[in-house]
Each structure stands twice: as C-alpha cells, then as structure tokens.
Amino acid sequence: MATGLIERAMGESRPLRNGVFVAIVGPSGSGKDTILSYARERVQHRPEFHFVRRVVTRAAAGDAEEHDTLDERAFAAALESGAFSLHWDAHGLRYALPKSVDHHVENGSVVVANVSRSLLRDLGSIYANVTVVHLSASPEVLARRLAMRGREDASDIEERLRRSAKAVAELDAAVMLDNSGPVEIAGNRFIAILEKAAAFAAICEQI
C-alpha cells in the first residue's frame, strides 16, 4: 500500500491559501496521464494553470507519463534537502512533487498534480483550497487498458481492480469523473473543473 508523507517548510503556521491545489487520483488504467495531457495542451497559454511534473525513481523511457527521474540515492538526498513539497512510496517506487508547487499555490495559481490517494487526508494541512478529482472507468475498460499496457499478468490486474473498487468508498468529497469513453468527454469536463478552480483562486487573491 502506498505511504503518503508530506514535507512542510519550517515555520509555516497555516495552509497556503491564495491558489488551488487540484489533485487527480484514480486507479491504473483510468487514463490520468491522458486526461492531464489533454487539459494541459488546451490551457497551456493560461498562466494561472500549473501542471506539475513529478519526480519518480523510474526511467522515463517508454513511460506514458513525462516525469523527472532520480535514482534512489539522489531521491533520498533531495528529500533530505527539502526539495519536495509532497512525496510518497507506491508499488516499489518513490514519487515526489517539487517544492516549487508551494510557490505556485502561494502566488494564486491552480496547481494540477497526479498524486496518491494516501496523501488526500493530509493535503488540507498544507493547502487551504483543495479539489480532488477521482478519475474512473468501467471495470471492463480498466482491465483492457491494463492488459494493453503489458506490465502485469491477469491475476495482478484482477487484484488492482479489487483495490480500486474498495478505494472509491474512501473518496466521498471527491469530484467523480468517468473516463470510460472518448477522451474529449472526460477531458472537457476536467477542464471545466479547472476553470471553476481558477475562478475561485481569483476571488481568493482579492481577499
């Protein structure tokens, strides 16, 4: 199971509240990278949106996600130096978001990141304004996408689907977004969620 750990700068006494942190979560095969790419391409000229590039202890070659890679030793050193805003372990890998995320939120941006569900309970202690988007798809679609990815056998895929079904019950406050169909449907709905977050962030900056 993923373990979520959160790093905060020394001396911070309250959550960062000028912007909005949009956390996208969902099971493998739900299309998180696809939806993020779809939205990023369509709002790339909008400075109020910042899409986070994750740091992962996995080579980027052949991976659908564009991320920065560190080996275990470099990751540990970066963590020790306070280079990350959030970090977690999952499936034998280590993940992190750069510390610059805090700067973007503090300056009123809508920050969009693919994170682990294990972090959701603690995000409010860092960011006052958090929107959680849970991307899902039908079990048949998830199974087909996971099989096409070719990383896991049938039993592993079945276990992933069981874990995903159980996790949905823990996300009562999340915006549920189905991505079983064409990417344009879920993608445009996701952009609408981001637009709402941007409008809220604009109001926050005026307070």
- Asked whether 120 and 25 are in contact (CB, 8 A), the reply is yes
Confidence at residue 53, expressed as pLDDT on a 0 to 100 scale: 94
Q: What's the rounded mean pLDDT across residues 95-108?
A: 96
- Asked whether 152 and 143 are in contact (CB, 8 A), the reply is no
pTM: 0.84
151 found inside a domain: yes
CATH of the domain at 37: 3.40.50.300
The model's pLDDT over 112-128, given as tens digits with 9 standing for 90+, comes to: 999 998 899 889 999 99
84 found inside a domain: no
Range of the structural domain that residue 200 is part of? 16-52+107-206
Question: Angle, nearest 10°, between helix axes 139-149 and 154-168?
Answer: 140
CB atoms within 10 A of CB 83: 17
- Total structural domains in the chain? 1
Binding residues for ATP: 26-33
Binding residues: 26-33
3 state DSSP class of 104 = helix
148 found inside a domain: yes
77 found inside a domain: no
93 found inside a domain: no
95 found inside a domain: no
88 found inside a domain: no
126 found inside a domain: yes
The model's pLDDT over 8-27, given as tens digits with 9 standing for 90+, comes to: 443 454 599 899 999 999 98
